[in-house]
Amino acid sequence: MSTLIKFLKNLFSPSAGREGAITLYSHAVAQARRAEFYTGLAVPDTLDGRFDMVVLHVYLLLDRLNASEDLCTDVQMVLQEALFADLDRTLREIGVGDLAVGRHVKEMAAAYFGRLKAYDAALESHDDAPLIEALGRNVWRGTPPEGDAPARLAHYIRKQSAHLEGLSDEDLCAGTIAFLDPIKEIVTS
């Protein structure tokens, strides 16, 4: 069992959605750490870049969970709590002092909720321009790389969202998912 999963299981008391949420979060983190994003799309391989990729994948899961007709309410809550607990843990591991961790997590929470709002608005549009703009502003901090990396990431997000829509609510709530392979989605887009 990974260190992250052990940490999260010890942090959260048993609940109907705990296991599914922890599994979903670990899938999101594993997907966000895929090298293809950092090498093939020039996502900055920094704390900020990794934060944005985790947030993006958690967003995709939350977007799909919101369509589950209240079957996964507990999963949604624990999934977000897992994200913030992991942010806190990560900051402490990299040496941020106890007094500063709360401030940093608060800043990251504001960024997180801003991104959720931006991605919601962008995905509602059938035009990729708002999504590409949101990605450029968030993932690349307003300075996207030359070329088509933002468009390819937007394509990946739309494909990933459609893939998650095809999963059953039961599988999703239980954490039984697999993300699409970014190599296939990024290289062939």
Confidence (pLDDT) at 109: 93
Q: Which residues contact 111 (CB under 8 A, 6 or more apart)?
A: 51, 55
High-pLDDT (> 90) share of the chain, %: 71
- What local confidence, expressed as pLDDT, does residue 189 receive? 52
CA–centroid distance for 154 within its chain: 14
pLDDT for residue 84 is more than 80:
yes
What digits encode the pLDDT tens for the residues 18-48? 889 999 999 999 999 999 999 999 999 999 9
Between 127 and 9, the higher pLDDT residue: 127
Report the distance separating Cα 116 and Cα 83, nearest Å: 13
Residues in Cβ contact with 55 at an 8 Å cutoff, skipping those fewer than 6 apart: 83, 111, 112, 115, 116
User: What confidence category does residue 98 fall into, taking pLDDT thresholds of 50, 70 and 90?
Assistant: confident
For residues 41-56, average pLDDT: 96
Q: How confident is the model at residue 69 (pLDDT cuts 50, 70, 90)?
A: confident
Mean pLDDT of 58-71: 90
The pLDDT confidence band at residue 17, using thresholds 50, 70 and 90, is confident
Section 159-169 average pLDDT: 95
| 5-21 CB burial, b ≥16 within 10 A, e <16 | beebeebbeeeebbbbb
Q: How far is CA 118 from the centre of its chain?
A: 14
Which comes out higher in pLDDT, residue 61 or 11? 61
Instruction: Please name the residues in contact with 129: beta carbons below 8 A apart, sequence gap of 6 or more.
Output: none
pTM: 0.89
Which amino acid, one-letter code, is at 148? D
Q: What is the mean pLDDT of residues 60-67?
A: 94
Confidence category of residue 16, pLDDT binned at 50, 70, 90: low
Would the CA dihedral through 183, 117, 96, 13 be positive or negative?
negative
Domain parsing of the chain, residue ranges:
15-183
| Dihedral sign, Cα of residue 99, residue 103, residue 106, residue 112 | negative
